[in-house]
Amino acid sequence: MALLELDDLRARYGETDVLHGITLSVEPGAIVAILGANGAGKTTTFRAITGAIPTSGAVRFDGRPIKGNSPEAAARLGIAHVPEGRGTLAALTVRENLALGAFTQKDSKRTRATYERVVSYFPRLAERCNQAAGTLSGGEQQMLAIGRALMMEPRLMLLDEPSLGLAPLIVREIFALLERINKSDGVTILVSEQNAKLALAAASHAYVLETGRIAVSGPSADLNRDDAVRKSYLGY
C-alpha cells in the first residue's frame, strides 16, 4: 500500500484555482520527485497535503485521511514538512530549533539518540549549536531544516525545493545526504525541485507539474530517457 496518496487534490487561493486535481502516490521507502517551474503548484501541493490550506479531494496517509486536517495533525502522524524558505526559527538557537523538531516525540532518551544521529549527518550543526539559527548560511539553514525534520523521526519527509538559492556544490551535498537518510533511516521522501536533473538522479519516480496539473509522470529513468519529455518539461 502506498504511504501517501493524493486523489484529485484541488486547491484555490481566493478565486484562483491553483491545483486542478493532483493524483499521485508515494510508496513507502521511496524517494519521489515533483518537478516543475515556478508557479507550477509545487509549494501549494505540499501545503495542501499538510492541510495548511483548504482543499477538496483526498489526501490519504497510510491508507487513512489525515484527521483534523492541519499541519499540527500531519506532524503528529509523522509527516515532516521542510517548507519553502526552510522554516528557520531565526531568533532561536540551532539547538533549540532541533529540540523543537522533536516536539511531537515523548521519549527524551530517544530524542537524544536522534539528536546524535542528526549531528552525525550534519556535523556543522553541532559546531554552531548555540548560534542563532538566523545567522547560519543558506546551506546550513537547509541542513538545519532537514535535521530538524529528522528530529521528528518522520515516516514521510516533504522537502520543498531544497536547492533554492544554494550553490551547486552544497546542493549536491544535500541530495547525497537525502539519499543516505532515505536508505539508513528508512524515511520516505517527497521532494519538489526545479533542478530536474539532480532530482531525477535521486528519485525513483517523478511527477512533472505544470500549472496545477500533472503533465507527465513515471519512473525517473523513463522520464530521463524520453527526449520529448526532457526537452519540453525538464529543459535539458
Partner 1 sequence: MCFLQRSEASPRREAAGNRGAKDLRPSSGCAQAFFEREELHIQELAQQVVSGLATGSIFASLALALVLIYRSMDVINFAQGELAMFTTFIAWQFTEQGMPLWAAFAATMAISFAGAVALERIVIRPIERAPQLTIVIVTLGLLIIFNGLAGWIWGYELKSFPSPFPTAPIHAGNVTFSSQDLGVIGVTLAALLLIYLFFSRTKLGLAMRAAALYPAESRVLGIPQGWMLALGWGLAAVMGTLSGLMVAPIVFLDPNMMQSIVVYAFAAAVLGGIDSPVGAVVGGLVLGVTLNLLGTYVDFIGTDLRLPVAFAIIVGVLVVRPSGMFGHRRLTRV
Give the binding site for partner 1 (CB under 8 A): 50, 52, 70-72, 75-76, 81, 83, 87-89, 91-92, 96, 99-101, 103-104, 148, 152
Q: Which three cell numbers stand for residue 183?
A: 536508505
- Give min distance, CB of 28 to partner 1, in A: 21
Decide whether 59 or 200 has the Cβ nearer to partner 1: 59
Q: Dihedral through CA 220, CA 231, CA 84, CA 67, nearest 10? A: -50
Long-range contacts of 169-176, Cβ-Cβ distance < 8 Å, separation of 24 or more: 170/138, 170/139, 170/142, 171/195, 171/198, 172/198, 173/139, 174/139, 174/142, 174/143, 174/146, 175/199, 175/201, 175/202
Cβ proximity of 157 and 190 under 8 Å: yes
- Give min distance, CB of 77 to partner 1, in A: 9
- Give min distance, CB of 83 to partner 1, in A: 6
- Give min distance, CB of 222 to partner 1, in A: 33
Decide whether 128 or 148 has the Cβ nearer to partner 1: 148
- Give min distance, CB of 219 to partner 1, in A: 30
